[in-house]
Each structure stands twice: as C-alpha cells, then as structure tokens.
C-alpha cells in the first residue's frame, strides 16, 4: 500500500522531492529509490525530522514498537500522523506516539494499486480542518475518500470495502469456473467474467438507479437471468453474503484488542 501511495502521489503532481520513505529492508529501499526516484532512509527518525505529515504504512504487529522508538522525535516535530494499519485504535496510536498529536486512521483497499481504491477516514479531535484536507488530498491520489463520524465504523468499513475486493474476486472466480465447465476456453472465460464485473460496477457507479433496479431491468420473467437468480435465492446467497460481512466485522473488532495486535 505504501508503494501505491507513493506512485499515486507522483502521478497526481506531488513533487518527488517532497516525499521521503523509510524501510529497514535494503531491498525495499533500493526498489523505491529506483522505481520512484524519491529520497529513502533507513532511519524512521530521519523521516519524522523531515516531514510535516507522516504516513504509517506498517503491519499492525510492529506498529507499537515503531512508534515508541520515534516517540521523542514525534513529540519534538508534532507531525500529522496517518495510519493505514488495520485494527490499531486511535487511543493506542496516541499513547505509543507520546500523546496529543493529530492522528487520522485510514482504511484503504487493494484497488488503490491502480488508483481505483476507496478509503474511509476518521480523525482524532486534534486534527484541524486544514489537516483533514491534507489527508484527503493524499488518499485521493489512490481513489475515492469518505470521512466517518465514528471510529467504530472502521470495523464495518474493513468488512465491506477492506475485505470487499476478495468477495468480488471470488464471484469472478466462480463465474470463470462455470464458464470453463460449460465449454469456454479459460482465456475467454476470464475475459467475459472480468469485463462483465467491471462493466456492471461502472454502470452502477454511473447510474442514478439502485443496484436492485438495475438487476430487475436485466431480469425478464421466465428468462435465463431469472433462472440463475432463482438458484441463488433458493441457496440463500444473499443472507450468506450478509453473514460473511458480519463475520468479517466481528473479526476486525477482535483483532483490534491488545492481545490480537501484538
């Protein structure tokens, strides 16, 4: 996700000179330097010292150690912090960084890799309107953005859009398998499944009508689409999808507990 952000920022006109990246891995630093031509550092302290905004693109299990190790630098420079780590609460981020900093939690998703992601954001009380604009501009470089009124809704977002791409990949996978079983070549099956999924999504985005209305418009009584949907309804697929998203939200809540993030 960090690489997606760097690439998106550059593509949206941000100066390469304004971007500094740190990573403990020499291979990762070399990759970023060679592919994005931005400044790279081994030291997180160097990034904090050079930045008014710091994006925390870290795995949840290393977040506490990483923040605690630079807490003194963070307290000295007071940058805006943006965390894209799943499940780490604002209270923990605030505590580990020394307290009283402007912090925004963001839940992006993997289509950010092609600047087609969607990111939900929640800010602590220290974040100003100007800082919110900074965060929105950064995350807009990789897709759409939305602000949430309550931090707990980030668990819902994790289940809906954070994990969401996997649900659609699964559906595409199923359609491909059915097409192959019915005689289509794998390449043709993949093309039809992926382009249909992409087209349906774009149509839903562009239309003022709800997905339910769009579905009804292509479902003729007694037709092929109706036959397929009848099978899905009999199998209670809708309820299964709802239950799956509820399970993902529950797991997100569990993972945010201290014993699950260490």
pLDDT per position as a tens digit, 152-182: 999 999 999 999 999 999 999 999 999 999 9
pLDDT at 258 over 70: no
pTM for this prediction:
0.89
Q: What is the pLDDT of residue 255?
A: 87
How distant is the alpha carbon of residue 176 from its chain centre? 26
Residue 132 and residue 3 in contact, taking contact as beta carbons nearer than 8 Å:
no
Can you tell me the mean pLDDT for 50-59? 95
User: Which ranges in 13-86 belong to alpha helices (H)?
Assistant: 26-36, 44-50, 60-69, 71-77
* Domain spans, the chain: 2-149, 164-255
pLDDT at 11 over 70: yes
pLDDT at 220 over 80: yes
**Same fold flag, 2-149 and 164-255:** no
The CATH number, out of the four listed (3.30.2350.10, 1.10.3730.10, 3.40.50.1980, 1.10.1740.10), of the domain defined by the range 164-255: 1.10.3730.10
Q: At 108, phi and psi to the nearest 5? A: -90, -175
Can you tell me the mean pLDDT for 3-19? 92
Handedness of CA 123, 48, 162, 59 (dihedral sign): negative
Q: What is the pLDDT of residue 261?
A: 46
Please, which pLDDT band fits residue 250 given cuts at 50, 70 and 90?
Answer: very high
pLDDT at 259 over 90: no
Topology of 2-149 in CATH?
Answer: Rossmann fold (3.40.50)
Residue 87 and residue 261 in contact, taking contact as beta carbons nearer than 8 Å:
yes
């Amino acid at each position: 996700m960090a690489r997606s952000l760097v690439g998106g920022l550059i593509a949206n006109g941000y100066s390469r000179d304004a971007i500094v990246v740190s990573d403990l891995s020499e291979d990762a630093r070399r990759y970023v330097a060679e592919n994005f031509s931005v400044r790279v550092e081994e030291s997180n302290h160097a990034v904090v010292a050079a930045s008014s905004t710091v994006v925390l693109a870290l795995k949840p299990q290393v977040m506490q150690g990483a923040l605690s190790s630079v807490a003194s630098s963070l307290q000295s420079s007071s940058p805006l912090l943006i965390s894209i780590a799943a499940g780490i609460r604002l209270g923990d981020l605030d505590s580990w960084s020394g307290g009283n900093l402007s912090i925004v939690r963001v839940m992006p998703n993997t289509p950010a890799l092609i600047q087609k992601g969607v990111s939900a954001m929640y800010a602590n009380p220290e974040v100003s309107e100007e800082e919110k604009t900074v965060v929105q501009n950064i995350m807009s470089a990789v897709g759409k953005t939305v602000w949430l009124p309550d931090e707990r809704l980030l668990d819902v977002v994790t289940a809906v859009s954070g994990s969401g791409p996997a649900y659609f990949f699964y559906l595409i996978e199923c359609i491909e398998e059915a097409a192959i079983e019915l005689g289509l070549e794998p390449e043709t099956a993949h093309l039809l499944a992926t382009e249909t999924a992409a087209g349906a999504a774009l149509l839903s985005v562009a239309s003022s009508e709800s997905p339910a209305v769009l579905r009804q418009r292509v479902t003729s009584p007694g037709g092929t689409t109706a036959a397929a949907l009848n099978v899905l309804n009999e199998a209670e697929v809708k309820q299964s999808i709802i239950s799956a998203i509820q399970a993902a939200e529950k797991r997100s809540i569990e993972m945010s507990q201290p014993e699950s993030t260490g």
